[in-house]
């Protein structure tokens, strides 16, 4: 218990210091993107959405706007796929590069999030996890990056491929994606440490230049095995 308290306190301090430094370094990029977004699409810069946070309490997450206003009321309300018509032209680039996630550094400074932790889910998505996962996942602050972000970097592509085969993407999420995501979050909860967090941060930057890398399975031992159903080749067999 005492070790957990020390780890949490040190992690929060490191998150705050690194985030303050980070926002100073990337502020020129923020300014450029703010101008670009203001002059394109529908003129929106940020998109705020309610997500599940520490101790299962909802908070508002910050992202750069990548979709049309009221996109949740247009087309496929449940899932976002590649080449989704609701995504703006600039939004496609921001989502592909994950740059749209950068404003979450504001959430880290506010204390809503950490640099590393479980992905902050929509409330309705959180409710699809088993009670065992729901009980532990947000005993840690949700993170800008984490195991779920690393292993499911190609999530939109997987869902899109499944849909192209004429199958129900919502069923794919429920049957294949949620169970493995839940297993990953449980693994993180039981193995969290400063070393694990550092490895996840490094792997996040590594994946930006090597998006197809599987280094995560070498760097983090005994991770839940990724089922074949969560690969492009495996989808063909379902």
Please tell me the distance from the alpha carbon of residue 45 to that of residue 236, in angstroms, as a whole number. Answer: 38
Confidence of residue 33 (pLDDT cuts 50, 70, 90): very high
Please tell me the distance from the alpha carbon of residue 215 to that of residue 225, in angstroms, as a whole number. Answer: 14
Q: What is the pLDDT of residues 44-63, one digit of tens each?
A: 899 899 999 999 999 999 99
Residues 6+ apart with CB under 8 A from 11: 114, 194, 197
- CB of 191 closer than 8 Å to CB of 224: no
Please tell me the distance from the alpha carbon of residue 178 to that of residue 34, in angstroms, as a whole number. Answer: 34
Q: What is the pLDDT of residues 158-184, one digit of tens each?
A: 988 898 889 998 899 999 999 999 999
Residues 93-98: what's their mean pLDDT?
A: 84
- The answer on pLDDT for 77 being more than 60 is no
- The answer on pLDDT for 40 being more than 60 is yes
Q: For 223, left (φ over 0), alpha (ψ -120 to 50), or beta?
A: beta
Confidence of residue 154 (pLDDT cuts 50, 70, 90): confident
pTM exceeds 0.85 for this model? yes
Please tell me the distance from the alpha carbon of residue 61 to that of residue 96, in angstroms, as a whole number. Answer: 19
Q: What is the pLDDT of residue 93?
A: 86
Cα 220–8–148 angle (5° rounding)?
40
Nearest to 198 by CA among 52, 21, 10, 24: 10
Residues 118-145: what's their mean pLDDT?
A: 94
Mean residue pLDDT of the chain comes to 89
β partners of residue 57: none
Cα 147–215–119 angle (5° rounding)?
10
- The answer on pLDDT for 223 being more than 70 is yes
Q: What is the pLDDT of residues 184-219, one digit of tens each?
A: 999 999 999 999 999 999 999 998 888 888 899 999
CA distances from 173 to 24, 177, 201 (A): 38, 5, 26
């Amino acid at each position: 218990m005492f070790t957990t308290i020390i780890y949490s306190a040190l992690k929060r301090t490191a998150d705050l210091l690194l985030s303050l430094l980070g926002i100073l370094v990337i502020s020129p990029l923020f300014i450029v993107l703010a101008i670009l977004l203001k002059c394109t699409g529908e003129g929106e810069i940020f998109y705020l959405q309610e997500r599940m946070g520490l101790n299962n309490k909802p908070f508002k997450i910050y992202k750069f706007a990548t979709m049309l206003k009221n996109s949740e009321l247009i087309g496929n309300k449940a899932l976002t796929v590649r080449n989704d018509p609701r995504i703006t032209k600039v939004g496609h680039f921001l989502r592909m590069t994950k740059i749209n996630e950068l404003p979450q550094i504001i959430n880290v400074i506010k204390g809503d999030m950490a640099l590393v932790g479980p992905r902050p889910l929509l409330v309705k998505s959180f409710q699809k996890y088993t009670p065992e996962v729901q009980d532990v996942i947000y005993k840690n602050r949700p993170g800008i990056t984490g195991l779920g972000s690393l292993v499911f970097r190609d999530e939109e592509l997987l869902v899109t491929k499944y849909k192209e085969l004429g199958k129900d993407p919502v069923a794919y999420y429920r049957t294949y994606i949620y169970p493995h995501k839940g297993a990953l979050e449980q693994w993180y909860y039981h193995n969290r440490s400063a070393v694990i967090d550092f490895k996840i941060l490094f792997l996040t930057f590594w994946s930006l230049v090597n998006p197809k890398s599987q280094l995560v399975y070498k760097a983090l031992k005994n991770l839940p095995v990724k089922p074949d159903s969560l690969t492009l080749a495996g989808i063909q067999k379902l």
